[in-house]
Amino acid sequence: MDKKELIYQLKQQIIKQLNLSGKTPEDIGDDDPLFVEGLGLDSIDALELIVLLQQEYNIKLKNAEEGQTIFRSITTMADYILEQQAGAAN
Amino acid sequence: MSLKQKDIYISGSVCIRNRTVRSGDKIVFKSDESADLFSSLYEKLDIDYPKFFKMDALCKLGTAAAHVLLKDFDKSAYQPQELGIVLSNKSGSIEADINYFESSKTFPSPSLFVYTLPNIVIGEISIRYGFKGENAFFISEQFDPEWIVFYVGNLVQHQGIKACICGWVDVENDEYDARFFLIEQGKDNGLNFTADNMRAVFSQE
């Protein structure tokens, strides 16, 4: 899966997992902030994103503080997933 | 003899059951059998609160009932800490408990876990509508208006509450039952805050 496909899939998964009713993948910009002024996610949503990474991509966040960087936007999430998958493949 | 609280009046009531929303004796909305009840309520009642979709069924039901109940309520007449909420039900948060239990077999869901207490519905209503006074949630086999009148009356007389949402909100096996009352101190509309008057509103079907 290339980065573009991954980004679209992530948007679909986030909408479903976080019950963002009325939102479509097209409503979420690749680089939009996920928290506060962007999608307006909260701390419980952050925990759901950690679960999503584990459930869908078998990635366990080693350090919760990394979340601030990883969950900044859909692009940063996709970059992190691709990086982890590449690391696991090597 | 009916328990009665001096100078406290029922200024509004809302009932949501059998896919029908009533405000006082008027039907506000009736949902089709085929439609998703909460999506219909959100749209038709103009709730306009995206967080609604993240809530469990109990909180959605309570928020929808409060939304209708407070439509014409002049909140600016009170301080936030003078606004209380006292609710009750028989099923607690059983639906959220079951959903969380099921999720915990694979990946426990934080967003399901946060709804595994019945009084969370009070928190959601408080956040949405700015109620910051005393609150309580009681579990009883059936609606107990005498207890509600006693408890809420005590809050008004001794805890500085001047207006309060009170009543019943229950969800079990996809059956939804909300009966909310808005009571206010000193707003004499002829309908005293009594158990009999609450019961009479309850029986309007």
Least confident piece of the model among A9-13, A32-36, B38-42:
A32-36
pLDDT in tens, B103-115: 999 888 999 999 9
In whole angstroms, give the CA distance from residue B131 to residue A86.
51
Taking a C-beta distance cutoff of 8 angstroms, is the pair B133, B84 a contact? Answer: yes
Contact at CB, A18 and B109, closer than 8 angstroms:
no
Q: Does B48 touch chain A (CB under 8 A)?
A: no
Residue B28 structure tokens: 């506000």
Structural domain boundaries of chain A?
A: 3-89
Going by pLDDT thresholds of 50, 70 and 90, the confidence category of residue B205 is low
Residue B18 confidence (pLDDT): 92
Contact A74, A20 (CB under 8 A): no
Look at residue B202 in the predicted model and tell me its pLDDT. 72
Q: What confidence score (pLDDT) does residue B2 get?
A: 45
Residue-wise DSSP of A13-56: HHHHHTT-TT--GGGS-TTS-SBTTSS-B-HHHHHHHHHHHHHH
Distance CA B109, CA B117 (A): 15
Rounded to 5, what percent of chain A is helix, strand, coil?
Answer: 60, 0, 35
| B103 and chain A in contact, CB less than 8 A | no
Number of Cα atoms under 13 Å in the Cβ half of residue A29? 8
B183 DSSP β-pair partners = B10, B164
Q: How distant is the Cα of B174 from the closest Cα of chain A, in angstroms?
A: 19
Homologous superfamily of A3-89: ACP-like (1.10.1200.10)
Q: How far is B141 from chain A (nearest CA, A)?
A: 32
Asked whether the predicted pLDDT for residue B1 surpasses 60, the reply is no
Q: In this structure, what CATH number is given to the domain that contains residue B37? A: 3.40.47.10
What is the reported pLDDT for B46?
94
Q: How confident is the model at residue B204 (pLDDT cuts 50, 70, 90)?
A: low
Query: What is the pLDDT at residue B188?
Result: 84
A58 CB neighbours in chain B (<8 A) are none
The first and second tokens of residue B166, run together, are 């009170």
Burial call B110-120: b when 16+ CB within 10 Å, e when fewer: bbbbbbbbbeb
Mean residue pLDDT across chain B: 93
* The pLDDT value given to residue B105: 92
Q: Is A11 exposed, middle or buried (0-12, 13-18, 19+ CB in 10 A)?
A: buried
CA distance readout (Å), B131 to A17, B66, B75, B197: 30, 11, 9, 24
Question: Of the candidates B45, B131, B46, which has an alpha carbon nearest to the alpha carbon of residue B87?
Answer: B131
Domain of residue B47, residue span: 4-202
Beta-sheet strands, E only, within chain B:
4-17, 20-23, 26-30, 83-89, 135-139, 163-172, 175-185, 192-194
Q: A51, A54, A58: best mutation site toward chain B, by most B Cβ within 10 Å?
A: A51
Structural domains in chain B (count): 1
For B127-149, how does the pLDDT look when each residue is reduced to its tens digit (9 = 90+)? 999 999 999 999 999 999 999 99
Average pLDDT over residues B61-70: 98
Contact B22, B28 (CB under 8 A): yes
pLDDT at B125: 98
Residue B4 has pLDDT above 60, yes or no: no
Identity of residue A10 = L
Across B3-31, average pLDDT = 90
- Name residues whose C-beta falls within 8 Å of residue B160's C-beta, 6 or more positions apart in sequence: B81, B82, B133
A38 or B20, which is more confident: B20
**CB B106 to CB A55 under 8 A?**
yes
For chain B, percent of residues with pLDDT exceeding 90: 81
Interface check for B110 against chain A (CB to CB < 8 A): the answer is yes
Q: Do A54 and B110 touch (CB under 8 A)?
A: no
List pLDDT tens digits, range A31-88.
Answer: 999 997 778 888 899 999 999 999 999 999 888 788 889 999 999 999 999 999 988 8
Q: What is the pTM of this model?
A: 0.88
